[in-house]
Amino acid sequence: MKKSLLFLFILFSIGCTSQSFQWQAVIDSVKSDGFYKILINPEISTHLKPGYGDLRIFTGNEEVSYILKKEEPSKTTSLFKEYEIVSKDLHAGGISYIVLHNKDKNAIDNIHLDIRNADVMKRIRITGSDDQKEWFMVKDEYEFYSANNPKGTSEIKILNFPLSNYEYYRLEINDKKSRPIDILKAGYFDYSSEKGKYTEVPSPVITQKDSAKESYIRISFSSPQYFDQLKLEISGPVYYKRQATLSEVNRNKKGEYHTEVTNMELSSDNNHEYDVSLTKASELLLRISNDDNVPLKIKSVRALQLNTNGIAYLFKGKNYILKFGDEKAEAPVYDLQYFNNKIPDEIPALTTSKPGKIISAQQGASFTFFSSPWFIWSAIGIVIILLSFITVRMLSEMGKAN
């Protein structure tokens, strides 16, 4: 009897703890074999666990490996821009001359030289000119040491000097003690900053209440959302500067409680774009300190999510689907994570259909006989009957003993 009861309890536990994906979205058709990025938009991410560990890509019953890549709020890139080498006169045992053209006459205080590796010490003099006839001192007796790049055949060396804007710069290299060095190119690094790409989440509902000294703005979303930036539209005096606190609103059996997310400054001098660090929320509270000023009016709030893409190698002719929404699923571990360098910088993007609820009859749903409601309630009924039988039997035996 005890063994039968234990067996039924195990089956009941299996039925209650089985894992399943609750949602799915169909991925666009694949035009050719290769890497693709699939945007995990807010309609999908609202159903995902923090970290998106319950996201999977399937073709049929086969799981497809992928890498998640989230945009950075901003990215700085550098590009080497070359100066024209007007002339290069090399003189072993004498002075070598290299003339560079700074055609836009930019104000510069350094020159980057790409030099073929060499174990040597040189002295360099830098002069400047606007007509290549009269030359003026920029820096004298610059000491240059070995170029030795263990990962390549050349190395970038930087020559620093006082800020100037000559159209031409001449490098006078003392080659009296050793052969000339091989300067492949000269130039500078131009740095540019690019903002990350965002997707707006569904617009929230805003309610505002003003007291004598503070304003309280509730920002409510239709479903829990991940977001990384808030954009506020504010009306108020021509000039204002207020301190505000943004908190996440949660509720439990004891009532409502607030978790502070960040402090913000609302000022007529800024663009009212605020980066926030928040996992997932369905309601926020913005508290503004007005002091003795007229309250500000928050006309609208836009919440944006930094784009996250699932990057996978897909094949033409196969149908792919996203499955997600399983609180018990753990983040997958794929070999693809070790081959980031094989993924091109620019790859095609695929979109998905609107998420749909997975029902038991659909392929791939984690529905089994043991997780069906019929089995669960039948098991509960059998367990209750067996427990009642055992209880009656024990009471009967206790009565006989007395």
Residue 389: pLDDT over 80: no
In whole angstroms, give the CA distance from residue 34 to residue 347.
Answer: 9
Average pLDDT over residues 127-153: 92
Let me know: does 208 contact 228? Beta carbons within 8 Å. Answer: no
Structure tokens at 45: 């991410």
Let me know: does 279 contact 226? Beta carbons within 8 Å. Answer: yes
Residue type for position 194: E
Q: What is the pLDDT of residue 392?
A: 66
What radius of gyration do the chain's Cα atoms show? 34
Residue 299: pLDDT over 80: yes
In whole angstroms, give the CA distance from residue 241 to residue 376.
Answer: 61
Structure tokens at 167: 């159209």
Q: What is the pLDDT of residues 300-323, one digit of tens each?
A: 999 999 999 999 999 999 999 999
Tell me which of 34-43, 268-277, 324-333, 368-377 is least confident. Answer: 368-377
> In 20-116, where do the E strands start and end?
23-26, 34-39, 56-59, 62-64, 67-70, 74-89, 95-101, 108-116
Q: What is the pLDDT of residue 147?
A: 86
The H-or-E segment that residue 310 falls in is strand 308-314
Structure tokens at 292: 């003795």
Q: What is the pLDDT of residue 178?
A: 93
Q: What is the pLDDT of residues 201-259, one digit of tens each?
A: 999 999 999 998 999 999 999 999 998 999 999 999 999 999 999 999 999 989 999 99
Residue 182: pLDDT over 90: yes
Q: What is the pLDDT of residue 3?
A: 46
Q: What is the pLDDT of residue 382?
A: 77
- Percent of the chain residues topping a pLDDT of 90: 74
In whole angstroms, give the CA distance from residue 172 to residue 181.
Answer: 12
Kindly indicate the confidence band of residue 337, based on its pLDDT and cuts at 50, 70 and 90. Answer: very high
Strands of 62-64's sheet in order across: 62-64, 56-59, 321-324, 23-26, 356-357
Helix axes 2-17, 373-401, angle to 10 degrees: 150
Q: What is the pLDDT of residue 8?
A: 44
Instruction: For each of the domains in the chain, give its residue range(s) and CATH number, in order of start.
Output: 1-18+368-402 (no CATH), 26-71+318-355 (no CATH), 76-194 (2.60.120.260), 199-306 (2.60.120.260)
Kindly indicate the confidence band of residue 370, based on its pLDDT and cuts at 50, 70 and 90. Answer: low
Average pLDDT over residues 273-299: 93
In whole angstroms, give the CA distance from residue 242 to residue 254.
Answer: 32
Let me know: does 115 contact 147? Beta carbons within 8 Å. Answer: yes
Q: How many CB atoms lie under 10 A from the CB of residue 308?
A: 21
Q: What is the pLDDT of residue 385?
A: 78
More confidently predicted of 6 and 169: 169
In whole angstroms, give the CA distance from residue 375 to residue 368.
Answer: 10
Q: What is the pLDDT of residue 145?
A: 87
Q: What is the pLDDT of residues 75-129, one digit of tens each?
A: 888 888 999 999 999 999 999 999 999 999 999 999 999 999 999 999 999 999 9
The H-or-E segment that residue 158 falls in is strand 154-164
Q: What is the mean pLDDT of the chain?
A: 88
What are 112's strand-pairing partners?
Answer: 158, 187
Residue 402: pLDDT over 90: no
Instruction: Give Cα separations from 45 to 59, 219, 330 (angstroms).
Output: 21, 19, 16
Residue 397: pLDDT over 70: no
